[in-house]
Amino acid sequence: MYIAVIPIKGNINQRMQRSIVPIIRYASARKKVAGAILHINSGGGDAVSSELIYNECVELSRKKPLYAYIEGIGASGAYWISMASQKIFAFNSSIVGSIGVISIMPNISNFLQKIGIRVDTIKMGMYKDSLSPFSTDDHGKEIIENIIRESYDRFVELVSNKRNISMEDMKEIAQGQVFSVGESLRRKLIDASGTLKDVVDDISLKTRGVKKVRFMEPKVPVFQRLIQGISSAMIGELSDTLNQY
């Protein structure tokens, strides 16, 4: 029996989703896995991928103890995923939060006008070019804002329910800012601070004393492993060459 340590690290996107979801499902189905820890160091990413990973973690938490450990950054979509756990720990110097939703749409229409370039758009449907960087009007902006608002409201409601924080307090917390560990404790965003060992000691109370851990790393495609190996070898040779001078 062992505790599975599942990495949620780096940008959350479809690639992470495809690599992490099988690990979560494996931990959920494998009888030898007594519990799991989400090992988080991520500033967030794609809202859809974050929610899909969260949903898989919820299924895992229904079967086995699931804790989250923020070691570095646990923000935005990464914090959303941590909501699936029964307890959230954070390393002393970590930062937590960034509860909010953002959509960045570059618009270069004014720049093009200044340099004398005109972009003609042929479309069927008034809002078809709402996300175009060449659009000269804001007729679709309200639609995008409504979509973002729905995601934001769902995020805020989730944190309020899972962390037992009033919606009144959430109005102040959910402005996209990040918090220190001390402030996160005060605002009830996390349960405790400590190290991974502290998390293992705590979850072992739920796993009948099991403390053995196994780090579950995503499988790396053969081609990617080959490229990484070549890159490492080249860097090593360059380092050896430099050390001669």
pLDDT band at 68 (very low <50, low <70, confident <90, very high): very high
Q: How many CB atoms lie within 10 A of CB 230?
A: 10
Nearest to 16 by CA among 213, 215, 220: 220
Using CA atoms, how far apart are residues 156 and 99, in angstroms rounded to an integer? 7
pLDDT at 50: 93
User: E strands along the chain, which residues?
Assistant: 2-9, 33-42, 66-75, 87-90, 95-97, 178-180, 192-193, 213-215
Q: How far is CA 205 from CA 12, 34, 55, 57, 186, in A?
A: 31, 11, 25, 20, 25
Inform me whether the pLDDT recorded for 90 exceeds 80: yes
Q: Catalytic one among 50, 76, 151, 184?
A: 76
DSSP 41: E
171 tagged catalytic:
no
Using CA atoms, how far apart are residues 222 and 145, in angstroms rounded to an integer? 42
Nearest to 172 by CA among 84, 93, 97: 97
Question: Which pair of structure tokens corresponds to residue 169?
Answer: 């307090």
pLDDT 10s digits, 160-181? 999 999 999 998 988 889 999 9
Mean pLDDT for 214-236 is 61
pLDDT at 199: 96
Strands 95-97 and 87-90: unpaired
pTM: 0.79
- Asked if residues 72 and 49 have their Cβ atoms less than 8 Å apart, the reply is no
Using CA atoms, how far apart are residues 245 and 242, in angstroms rounded to an integer? 6
Domain map (residue ranges) of the chain: 1-98+177-220
Q: Catalytic one among 128, 171, 197, 219?
A: 128
- Asked if residues 27 and 207 have their Cβ atoms less than 8 Å apart, the reply is no
Inform me whether the pLDDT recorded for 198 exceeds 70: yes
Topology at the third CATH level for domain 1-98+177-220: 2-enoyl-CoA Hydratase; Chain A, domain 1 (3.90.226)
Inform me whether the pLDDT recorded for 105 exceeds 70: no
pLDDT at 113: 67
User: E strands along 43-161, which residues?
Assistant: 66-75, 87-90, 95-97
